[in-house]
Amino acid sequence: MTDRRADDFRVRPSAPKNRGKGQGQSFVSKVLKQAGKASSGKSSMRHSVVGGSGTRAGQRPGSRLGRGHTAARFAGAKLTPLSRRVTIKTLLVNQRQASPQSLAKHLRYIERDGVGRDGKPGQAYGPQTDEAYLDAFKERCADDRHHFRFILSPEDGAELEDLRTYTRHLMGRMEADLGTGLDWVAVNHWNTDNPHTHLIVRGRDDTGKDLIIAGDYIADGFRHRASELATEWLGPRTELEIQQTLQCEVEQERWTSLDRTLKRELGDGGQVQIERFNEPRLQRQRLLLIGRLQRLQRLGLADEVQPGTWAVHSDAEKTLRALGERGDIIRTMQRAMNGEPRELAVFEPGDDGRRVIGRVAAKGLADELRDRGYLVIDGVDGKAHYVALNARVELANYPTGAVVEVKGSADMRAADKNIAALANDGLYRTDHHLAIAQGQAVPGRDPQEVVAAHVRRLEALRRAGIVERVTEGLWKVPDDLAEQGRRYDAQRLGGVAVELKSHLPIERQARVIGATWLDQQLIGGGLGLGGLGFGSEVKDALQKRVDFLAEQGLVERRGQRVILARNLLNTLRSRELAQVAKDIAAETGLEHRPVADGRRVAGIYRRSVMLASGRYAMLDDGMGFSLVPWKPVIEQRLGQQIATTMRDGVASWDMGRGRGMSIR
Top mean-pLDDT range of 146-150, 154-158, 647-651 = 146-150
> Does pTM top 0.85 for this prediction?
no
Q: What is the pLDDT of residue 13?
A: 46
pLDDT in tens, 29-73: 444 444 444 433 333 333 333 333 344 444 555 556 889 989 998
Question: Quick one: average pLDDT of 350-372?
Answer: 83
Angle CA 333–336–337, to nearest 5: 90
Decide if 289 contacts 253 (C-beta within 8 A): no
The DSSP annotation for 557-606 comes to EETTEEEEPTTHHHHHHHHHHHHHHHHHHHHH-PEE-PPPTT-EEEEEEE
Tell me which residue of 41, 369, 316 sits closest to 200, measured CA to CA: 369
Looking at residue 219, the DSSP 8-state letter turns out to be: I
Looking at residue 221, the DSSP 8-state letter turns out to be: I
pLDDT for residue 586 is more than 80: yes
> How many Å apart are CA 400 and CA 114, to the nearest integer?
14
pLDDT for residue 189 is more than 70: yes
Q: What phi-psi label fits residue 507: left (phi over 0), alpha (psi between -120 and 50 degrees) or beta? A: alpha
Q: What is the pLDDT of residue 24?
A: 43
pLDDT for residue 383 is more than 80: yes
- Per DSSP, the three-state class of 367 is strand
Question: Quick one: average pLDDT of 452-477?
Answer: 91
> How many Å apart are CA 228 and CA 170, to the nearest integer?
9
pLDDT in tens, 426-456: 999 999 999 988 887 666 567 888 888 899 8
Angle CA 530–376–325, to nearest 5: 125
In which band, very low, low, confident or very high, does the pLDDT at 512 lie, cut at 50, 70 and 90?
very high
Decide if 378 contacts 533 (C-beta within 8 A): yes
Q: What is the pLDDT of residue 663?
A: 30
Q: Flag the least confident range among 49-53, 127-131, 466-470, 541-545.
A: 49-53
> How many Å apart are CA 46 and CA 62, to the nearest integer?
11
Q: What is the pLDDT of residue 553?
A: 92
> How many Å apart are CA 12 and CA 20, to the nearest integer?
23
**Residue spans of alpha helices (H) in 163-221:** 163-178, 215-216
Q: What is the pLDDT of residue 331?
A: 86
Reported as half-sphere exposure (CB side, CA atoms, 13 A), residue 345 has a value of: 16
> How many Å apart are CA 221 and CA 244, to the nearest integer?
28
Q: What is the percent of the chain with per-residue pLDDT over 70, rounded to a whole number?
A: 86
Tell me which residue of 219, 198, 183, 194 sits closest to 84, measured CA to CA: 194
- Give the chain's mean pLDDT: 84
Question: Quick one: average pLDDT of 599-608?
Answer: 90
Beta bridge partners of 94: 146
In which band, very low, low, confident or very high, does the pLDDT at 412 lie, cut at 50, 70 and 90?
confident
In which band, very low, low, confident or very high, does the pLDDT at 659 lie, cut at 50, 70 and 90?
very low
Beta bridge partners of 357: 405
> How many Å apart are CA 146 and CA 202, to the nearest integer?
7
> How many Å apart are CA 95 and CA 510, to the nearest integer?
46
- Per DSSP, the three-state class of 362 is strand
Angle CA 184–190–193, to nearest 5: 125
Using CA atoms of 198, 203, 208, 210 in order, give the dihedral in degrees to the nearest 10: 160
Angle CA 577–583–587, to nearest 5: 140
Decide if 153 contacts 194 (C-beta within 8 A): yes
pLDDT for residue 371 is more than 70: yes
Question: Quick one: average pLDDT of 403-412?
Answer: 83
Q: What is the percent of the chain with per-residue pLDDT over 90, rounded to a whole number?
A: 50
pLDDT in tens, 288-346: 999 999 999 999 999 999 999 999 998 999 999 989 888 888 888 888 888 788 888 88
